[in-house]
Structures are given as C-alpha cells and as structure tokens.
A and B are shown apart, each in its own frame.
Chain A
Amino acid sequence: MGELVRFIAQALVNHPDQVMITEKEDEDSVIIELRVAPDDMGRIIGKQGHIAKAIRTVVRSAAGRQKKRVTVDIV
C-alpha cells in the first residue's frame, strides 16, 4: 500500500526523490506516513486538503476488503 502512496505522491511533487514513505502495521490498522520536501507540501495537501483527501480515498479503496483500517498521515 505504501508503494501506491509513493507512486501517486511522486507524480504530484517537484522533488520526487524526496518522497519518503514509512509503513506501520499492527493487528487492526496500517498507518502510512508520507514525507515530502517542504515546498511540495501544498502539492499533496491541496486547497482545503482536497488532494490529501483524494489520495486517502484511493488508498482506502485499494485496501478494499482487508479488515485493517488504513490511514495516510502527511508529516
């Protein structure tokens, strides 16, 4: 799932080499942390968080029937 977030983020930012993903997983949840260059923050959050919301929607869909709750944190 982290690879999906990485792929989307890299397509949106100016510094794809600075996109960093960490995945934390326990029994009932997966937390994906996304880090980008400071001047790219706007490109993955968007006006009123629209872009971040779209990324989360896609990731949640991809997680599909997996019982685990998937969250994407932009840090």
Chain B
Amino acid sequence: MRFVEATGRTEEEAIQSALDQLNVSRDDVDIEVLEPASKGILGLWGSKPAKVKVTVKDKKADKAREFLEGVIERMKVDASIVVEQRDDGDIIMNIEGVRIGRLIGHRGETLDALQYLVNLACNRDGEEHSKIILDAENYRKKREQALVDLAFKMADKVKRTRRRVILEPMSSYERRILHTALQDDPDVTTYSEGIEPRRKVVITLK
C-alpha cells in the first residue's frame, strides 16, 4: 500500500500536499484526517496544523473483477464474483453460481487458466505483484480435502497389499498436497515420476 502523511494549515492544504507527493489525483485515494486543524484562540495561541493520511486505492481488485466478469459473460456463464482482500495483499476471488462447471473444467484446468490470465491482465504495469487467487464454489478447498483423503486411503492400500500405488497425473500443486499429507507417515514414502503434464505421484513402502 502506498500512502503518505502530510500536514498543512488547513485540511485542504494537507491533502493537496499529500496528492502532490504521491503524484496522483484525488479520485485515486482514500483520505483519513488524523488531526483536524485548530485555529487556536484568536489565531494566536495553540494553533495546530491539520494532519492527514492519504492512501492510494488498490485498483487491482477492481481491474481483476472487470476482466473476470467480461470473460465469464463472454463464456455465456451465469456467475457472480465475491472478492476478498487478504492482509498480505493477495486477492481471493470466489466465483459463485449454480452451473459453473465450465469455469472449473477437468480437474480445475480451466480455473487454473483463468487464474493465470487474470494475473497477467492485472499485473502488467503494477510495481507490486500481489497474487490473485481464483476459486469457484470453493472448488480448491474441496479438492484439497479430497486429495488428502485419497492420500490416506492409498497409503492404507500400500500397507495392506505391500505393493506400490501409482496415482493419476496431477499438477505440481496437487502433487504437493499428496506429498505433504503423507510426509509424516512412518511406513510409506512418496515421490513423483513421469514428465509434465503426465507426472504422477507414487506411494510405496519405506
């Protein structure tokens, strides 16, 4: 977040001084008055300058929403977008709607593609690279849980049958969820084999 604190004889002067320092226009900022100006008694004693904090608005979320809405509309899908700005600067956009499977795609590949594109479209000129994370009807959260469940189930199978299990191809992000889920298991170990995009997780006895 870009902001400055400035003082001036009046609030107006303080704000103007801050805008000059930031080199932006008034529409692009949020203004907070920290200390109002005080004229003092008869303009003589105890007069105090005004102090303001002026913060440049983060337009990225707006831009991201505009891009995403435009794409979704042209994909002829009915959906709405809920934006959440996290403290670390990342923006989470959850797409909500009844029939949005088309926005997720097979194993989330369309969601990943949209996430990649929205980040490109919004980070082009920006100095700060906060990430935009796309989700749809909490697909990512649910998928993560499903993968953890799968990991435990397959680990049991490996122990029971004493044979290794090879899972289907997954993205690096998904494979990591599996490796992490089983890293503390005393009996099995995991690794990946194959070449992207057909790289697979293998679970085997230690």
Which of A's residues lie within 8 Å of B, judged by CB? 3-4, 7-8, 11-12, 43, 50-51, 53-55, 57-58, 61-62, 64
Contacts and interface: CB of A to CB of B under 8 A. Distances in A.
Contacts of A43: 120
B102 A50 contact: no
A61 B105 contact: yes
A55 B117 contact: yes
B197 to A, nearest CB: 10
Contacts of A54: 112-114, 116-117
Q: Size class of B's contact patch?
A: 20 to 34
Given A61-B110, A64-B102, A7 B74 contact: yes
Decide if the interface of chain A is mainly helix, strand, loop or mixed.
Answer: helix
B110 A58 contact: yes
A3 B75 CA distance: 9
Contacts of B120: 12, 43, 51
Interface of B: 67, 70-71, 74-77, 102-103, 105, 109-110, 112-114, 116-117, 120-121, 124
A3 B74 CA distance: 7
A58 B67 CA distance: 14
Nearest to A65: B102
B117 A58 contact: yes
Contacts of B113: 53-55, 57-58, 61
A58 B134 CA distance: 14
A51 B118 CA distance: 11
Nearest to A62: B75
Nearest to A50: B116
Nearest to B106: A61
Contact of B121 (A12, A57, A62): A12
Contacts of B110: 57-58, 61
Nearest to A58: B113
Most central of A3, A51, A58 by chain B CB within 10 Å: A58
